Amino acid sequence: MHIRQITNLLPQPMRFGLRQFVFKGSAHACVLCGNHVREFRSHGGGADVLDIRQVVGGKRRDNDRCPVCHGSDRTRMMMMYLNDETPVGDAPQRILHAAPDYGLYLWLKRQPKINYTGSDIDVSRYRHIEKMQTADLTKLPFEDNSFDLLICSHVLEHIPDDTAAFAEIFRVIKPGGRALLLTPFALDGVGTDEDPDINNAAEQDKRFGQWDHVRLYDREDFLKRMRCAGFDASLFDPFDSDRDQAERMHLNPLEMLPVGTKPLNS
Ligand SMILES: [Zn+2]
């Protein structure tokens, strides 16, 4: 049995404590979980398509991932946006966090006035996160206009009927509320490549960059799909917003965050 399989049997607080102990150091401070660690680790995939299609958000990055909470560049980018550009921490915010990143969850938990709900189609994978609710993004079990913020990172590229997911995300957000929607994005301008009927892990890895993805989005096309669902959509560029902070947090200079605002009159 591999060491990872053994540690996975431990309860989450024990695993978290073990990682805190093993990786303790002074080289990096994680803005998400607050731990000081001796190294950040590499993460990301190596499929050829990620290079060919100039994909941001999936390729391997070195010295990037916190070994304790597993938060990476994209998680820190979302945290920066929430901290700098939204009322999180100042005004009451009801938040839906789909397929929650543990690091961002830990950061949100430390903010005042947060009413947090996590969701996933399989909540058994999230025993370490409180207030999880089983939810299919194409059929959300929430009332219209329920949330101030919805965070959904690296989920939509797994969902065959993303039109239904965009519509549901729009429906449950309050007018004036926002959705942070992130996936890997091709930047080569060729367009979105998708095939909802594909059911072949090797082919999906080759075409979309990961064995369980059903498409590879073009970033501009993704914004169009957000607008079709009703959102005012734009890209948050952390380097344009605050270059020093973005560099300090080792964000990816090519990565930007699509943000959708639900118009007040909808
Ligand atoms: Zn961390």
- 31 CA from centroid of ligand 1 (Å): 7
Cα separation, 238 vs 252, whole angstroms:
9
Identify the pLDDT of residue 53: 95
Using alpha carbons only, what angle is made at residue 124 by residues 61 and 19, rounded to the nearest 5 degrees?
A: 45
- 68 CA from centroid of ligand 1 (Å): 5
H or E element: which one contains 180?
Answer: strand 173-182
The residue ranges of every structural domain in the chain are 43-61+71-261
All residues with CB under 5 Å from ion ligand 1: 30, 32-33, 66, 68-69, 71, 103
Q: Residue 138 corresponds to which tokens in the numbers above?
A: 């194409």
Under the banding of pLDDT at 50, 70 and 90, the label for residue 47 is confident
Is residue 149 pLDDT above 80, yes or no? yes
- 47 CA from centroid of ligand 1 (Å): 26
- 40 CA from centroid of ligand 1 (Å): 9
* Beta strands, E only, 195-240: 215-218, 232-236
Cα separation, 244 vs 149, whole angstroms:
26
pTM confidence score: 0.93
Mean pLDDT computed over every residue of the chain: 93
Per the CATH hierarchy, to which homologous superfamily does domain 43-61+71-261 belong? Vaccinia Virus protein VP39 (3.40.50.150)
CB of 238 closer than 8 Å to CB of 80: yes
- 70 CA from centroid of ligand 1 (Å): 6
